Amino acid sequence: MKKRKICIISGSRADYGLLYWVIKELQFSTLLEPLLVVTGMHLSHEFGSTVSEIEKDNFRIDSRVEMLLSSDSSAGVAKSVGLGVIGFSDSFSLLKPDLILILGDRFEIFAAVQTALFQKIPVAHIAGGDITEGAFDESIRHSISKMSHIHFPTNEQARHRLMLMGENPKYIFNVGSPGIDYIKRMNVISRAELEKQLNVSLREKNILITLHPTTIGKQKDIDIVNALLDALSELDEKFGLIFTLSNADPAGRMISERVRKFVEKKTNAWAFQSLGQHLFLNLLSNVNMVVGNSSSGLYEAPSFKIPTVNIGERQRGRLRASSVIDCFPSSNDIQKAINSAMQLDCSQVINPYGEGNSSREIRRILESIDDYNSLLSKHFYIQKEE
């Protein structure tokens, strides 16, 4: 039997880390053939050329879609989406996939799904149904869901939202987050080896920090990053501060530049454009808390039994564990939240995003569906009251 071609799209360090074991599982399949298309920040030197991480993992890259403009403006992002549609149109025409498999809510992924819609290629979407009201990712995510045909939400609340959006409950599967799969199977290295590979000297207490643009919200990103850096300046030298830099959203470059200047003046601070999933997760296992507004503080950090200080509105509405402390983006509130996090006992925290078997479930479900094309014609399902 001819294998059906599953085209997986990855546009950043973030989604690749979550997709790693999904790609691996599909490689094990006797019924499905994974194709990998990389785009966005993966192909940008400015954002670490993280395509090299994929190559180190010995995954075959079937197509590269250049789409990211060197611009920190909303207009630049809109133009990048347009370039992406053109590039994905060429890639899909060449690869002729039977299904597109995508994760999340980035604008690069939005471009890919638009293209699939017009080329009549079914789409399977991981992590739909979530809420993040402080970012335009919120609208992108729900738009992708309406253009998708198979849904793999990461939690029960998200599954229910997809049903309320009129999606067919037969094809909505709560599989949890595939990021936990990586945590369960990760190769743990020693603290000394981690310090050697990162060329850092971890302190008595250590904080992992990632701040992305809010993109939608009342607070300005310049004020948020200044408040964060002011709060961190109040910590003494016993704290090690490890930053991963911002993404390609509007104002992302400004945030990264502010962080770089801050780090230059500190002996206890380091900044990385990208760590790769292996080093990132090993770093998570060696820090005392996560600070910022990245989804990793909600998705992955609870599995390591460490607290998260979640700043501002970017992740507003997303399901969170009891280890997450939300705070207003002012220096004083961030300081108070960090102090509270240092006292928080997270030993009994349960990660609400699954048990670490998401990738196998995704493979099993995709293998079990006989005809992807039969899903192209969608109906709006109205849920009956129980």
Give per-residue pLDDT as tens, 39-85.
998 998 888 888 999 999 999 999 999 998 887 788 988 999 999 99
* 95's tokens: 């690869």
DSSP assignments along 152-188, one per residue = E-SSHHHHHHHHHTT--GGGB-----HHHHHHHH---
Residue-wise pLDDT for 167-195, tens only, equals: 999 999 999 999 999 999 999 999 999 99
Residue 300's identity, in one-letter code, is E
Question: Averaged over 142-156, what is the pLDDT?
Answer: 97
Q: Which of 72-81, 163-172, 297-306, 357-366 has the lowest mean pLDDT?
A: 72-81
370 vs 348: CA distance, rounded Å = 42
The per-residue pLDDT for 174 is 98
Residue whose C-alpha is closest to residue 243's, from 261, 219, 220: 261
- The rounded percent of the chain whose pLDDT value lies above 90 is 84
Question: Would the CA dihedral through 219, 225, 229, 232 be positive or negative?
Answer: positive
Could you tell me which residue, 134 or 82, shows the higher pLDDT?
82
Q: How confident is the model at residue 218 (pLDDT cuts 50, 70, 90)?
A: confident
Which residue's structure tokens are 């300081």?
Answer: 335
Q: How confident is the model at residue 137 (pLDDT cuts 50, 70, 90)?
A: confident
Question: Averaged over 332-355, what is the pLDDT?
Answer: 96
The per-residue pLDDT for 215 is 78
Question: Averaged over 196-200, what is the pLDDT?
Answer: 96
The per-residue pLDDT for 386 is 46
Cut 0.95: pTM above it: no
Q: How confident is the model at residue 241 (pLDDT cuts 50, 70, 90)?
A: very high
Q: How confident is the model at residue 143 (pLDDT cuts 50, 70, 90)?
A: very high
Burial class (CB in 10 A: 0-12, 13-18, 19+), 282: buried
Q: Rounded to the nearest 5°, which phi and psi values hold at 124? A: -110, 130
Q: How confident is the model at residue 108 (pLDDT cuts 50, 70, 90)?
A: very high
105 vs 20: CA distance, rounded Å = 17
Residue whose C-alpha is closest to residue 344's, from 294, 302, 281, 285: 302
Question: Averaged over 330-349, what is the pLDDT?
Answer: 97
Q: How confident is the model at residue 134 (pLDDT cuts 50, 70, 90)?
A: confident
pLDDT at 380 over 80: yes
**Computed over its alpha carbons, how large is the radius of gyration of the chain?**
20
pLDDT at 385 over 70: no
